[in-house]
Amino acid sequence: MASAKTLTTHENPANGAMEGAARVMAQSGCTLADVTGFIHGTTLATNALIERRGASVATITTEGFRDILEIAYERRYSQYDINLNKPDLLVPRENALTVRERMSAAGEVLIALDHPSIEAMLGGLDKTGAKAVAICLMHSYANPDHEIRLREILNAKRPDLTVSISSDVSPEAREFDRLCTTIANAYIQPLMETYLNRFAQRFAAEGVRCPILMMTAGGGMCTIATATRFPIRLVESGPAGGAILAARVAARSGLKSVLSFDVGGTTAKLCLIDNARPQTSRSFEIARAARFIKGSGMPVRIPVIEMIEIGAGGGSIADVDRLGRLTVGPKSAGSEPGPVAFMRGGTEPTVTDSDIALGYIVPDNFAEGHIEIDVDAAKDALARSIGLKLGTDTTGAADGVSHIVVESMASAGRMHAVESGKDLGSRAMIAFGGNGPLHASRVARSAGINRIVVPPNPSVGSAIGFLFAPVSFEIVRSRYSMLNTLDMDHINALFLHMIDEAKTVVAQGAGDAITQTRRSAFMRYNGQGHEIEIALPDRDLTVDDIQPLTTAFEEEYRKQFSRPVPGMQIEILNWSVRVATLDDDVLTVPDTPPLTTIVPTDTRPIICDLDGTTKQAAFVARADLKPGDRVTGPALVTEPQTTTLVSADFSAHVDAIGNLILIQDQKGAL
């Protein structure tokens, strides 16, 4: 296996990808023409939404519903904040247009599409100067005919515009969320279409002959053609690969409950995984105006692997605020200019500078020798920007930065677990990413976790996770029904249509591969505002299924809310289908050979994260460890692209397939 990790090239992300591919080809002795599988994940869609680098968008809604964005949820996300900043929803009111038409919730035409109003809308559209259009008509999830007709008219009369329709992008009830998702898709579609086409052409010119598949936020893969049609599904596609890797490692290691811990240069991503399946969601928010307050961002309804992400990574900048408090992040030095120690123009101390000053990152062959480290520059920046302001020395400043960022990561994990009604203490941590293994033992201690698994090649964990992702596509449709009066013929016909649509998309990337289908219903008690996902049998439903579905819903409701509500009727709002290629059989890890504690002869001085004193840490190359080898902390286990810090209260050993297992034990023994 060959792997490479390169700095992000912001001007053209394909340059960094090409550099990494060239290194891997050189290591393996192959050429790009020999490649038979190519999977790409990107944060370009996420960054474009956060940094507001998309196209100007106009919206077209049903007459009388122009102000859906302004009305939103009819509430303030922070009720008593008189200086509240509303989330930027990308479309100013003057770009909000309407047409006369109306569908009922059952999909019946109440008002036919009015062509004079379309002509008036086209005139208004020209005045906006918009490059993309998001169409979201009332109840189009039940009957998309009017949206489809509007798209045809725009394609014919305004062919230069990019058009997204809600019945394609997010065919679900709740018009505000549906409109926001369609806007986000339209906003990034021109950018992503240009980028993906150029990316494919660039690699094709270098010899790649196989199809390029794109990782999606839901943990599956799709073709570039599907990705350019639904670029919103690429948001958070990179971190999704990491969660898939963690699920795979958990399955092989026989771990039922784990916390995925992925730390890169800018953010830390944490995901709860139970029974080798990452926690998923149907919605999330982009670019929150208030970092941790729900409702302060732009809601998007697509299938996603649910994780909590905070601005705490290796490039996160440390500073002292006007109240004299030490802060870390969310501002990041990124890859340009990067940490001060990288000598690329950075002047503000970062988490990586702190780790270098504490001795956790050793310049010896750091980043395979592609990046030189100036230890003195890191220490000077910490002393200047933090030590002088807080009246402490360089070590105190670096140690303070370390404790702040570690507690931020641990707090995020605890909060995520509590919100999901789960406990971290019984979980193992699976750590990866360029900075995950470096911070794992410190974060685990703070979070109450005593077992850590660091898989092989952890710095490219997300990319490795791509290799285990299925080619898949998920579709959700809103069709309101009461469970006890369910029209089985209607729902079975709906499922048949959804499955055919999903299989068509999957076949574009997987050909004739065998697929599996997962059906589910989103159910709730009559009158409630949110649903619970309940698995359905992969066959036509019959009246005999009503009682088992009732039991399944009440059991899941009991798990989440302690007890079901007797006498309440159950309703179903959404129906979901996911078609995916079959997963490979997961082989469990064989038993680890008897452990042999080794005493490395090479050491490096570090500042102990337990007591702040200088200790000699064992300095071990991971490639030199074989299954059964065990090292007691403190130790630095190094590899070309990252380092694992084994704290003084942990020991580490290698299992039968090369995972590095860290276990907390004050005596350093198992």
pLDDT of residue 154: 96
More confident residue, 529 or 318: 318
Q: Check residue 90 and report its DSSP letter.
A: S
Per-residue pLDDT reduced to its tens digit, 450-465 = 999 999 999 888 888 8
pLDDT category at 510 given cuts 50, 70, 90 is confident
The per-residue pLDDT for 508 is 87
One-letter amino acid of 131: K
Q: How confident is the model at residue 545 (pLDDT cuts 50, 70, 90)?
A: very high
The predicted pLDDT at position 345 comes to 87
Q: What is the mean pLDDT of residues 551-563?
A: 90
- For the segment 400-421, the average pLDDT, to the nearest whole number, is 89
Residues 606 and 399: their CA atoms lie apart, in Å, by: 11
Of residues 9 and 131, the one with the higher pLDDT is: 131
Alpha helices by DSSP H, 304-393: 351-357, 375-382, 388-390
CA atoms within 13 A on the CB side of 563: 3
At how many degrees (to 10) do helices 145-157 and 115-128 cross? Answer: 50
Q: What is the mean pLDDT of residues 535-546?
A: 94
Arithmetic mean of pLDDT, 121-128: 95
User: pLDDT band at residue 670, thresholds of 50, 70 and 90?
Assistant: very low
Whole-angstrom distance, CA of residue 244 vs CA of residue 215: 11
Lowest mean pLDDT among 42-56, 387-401, 471-485: 42-56
Give the pLDDT band (50/70/90) at residue 448.
Answer: very high
Tell me, rounded to whole angstroms, the distance of Cα 462 from its chain centroid.
10
Class of domain 50-192: alpha beta
pLDDT exceeds 50 at position 210: yes
**For 125-160, what is each residue's pLDDT tens digit?**
999 999 999 999 999 999 999 999 999 999 999 999
432, HSE (Cβ side, Cα atoms, 13 Å) = 28
Cα–Cα distance for residue pair 558/547, rounded to 1 Å: 16
- Asked whether the beta carbons of 526 and 485 are under 8 A apart, the reply is no
Which residues have CB under 8 Å from 287's CB, separation 6+? 49, 50, 87, 88, 297, 298
DSSP state of 256: S
Q: Is the pLDDT of residue 651 over 50?
A: yes
| Integer Cα distance of 629 and 616 in angstroms | 20
Is the model's pLDDT at 656 over the cut of 80?
A: yes
pLDDT score for 669: 39
Give the C-alpha separation, 616 to 608, whole Å: 9
Cis peptide bond prior to 337, omega within 30° of 0: yes
pTM listed for this prediction: 0.86
Which residue ranges make up each domain of the chain? 50-192, 316-403, 474-488+508-581
Asked if residues 466 and 41 have their Cβ atoms less than 8 Å apart, the reply is yes
Q: CA-to-CA distance for 199 and 547, rounded, in angstroms?
A: 51
pLDDT reported for residue 366: 74
Per-residue pLDDT at 10: 66
The pLDDT assigned to 32 comes to 85
3-state helix/strand/coil string of 423-464: CCCCCEEEEECCCHHHHHHHHHHHHCCCEEEECCCHHHHHHH
Question: Which range has the top average pLDDT, 30-34, 72-76, 425-429?
Answer: 425-429
Q: Give the Å distances, CA to CA, from 422 to 231, 257, 288, 417, 456.
A: 32, 10, 25, 5, 28
DSSP string, 595-613: PEE---S-EEEEE-TTT--
CA dist 604 → 361, 364, 617 (Å)? 10, 11, 5
Q: For 92-114, b where at least 16 C-beta lie within 10 A, e where not — what string?
A: eeebbbbbbbbbeeeeeeeeebe
Q: What angle do CA 27, 29, 34 make, to 5 degrees?
A: 115
What are the residues facing 597 on neighbouring strands? 630
Residue-level pLDDT at 292: 61
Work out the pLDDT band at 175, boundaries 50, 70, 90: very high
DSSP string of 389-433, one letter each residue: HHT--HHHHHHHHHHHHHHHHHHHHHHHHHHTT--STT-EEEEES
Enter the tokens of residue 526: 């009559």
pLDDT of 368 higher than 70: no
- pLDDT, residue 264, reads 85
**CA–CA gap between residue 240 and residue 468 (Å, rounded):** 11
Rg over CA atoms, the chain: 26
What number is the average pLDDT over the span 368-393? 89
Strongest mean pLDDT among 10-14, 580-584, 623-627: 623-627
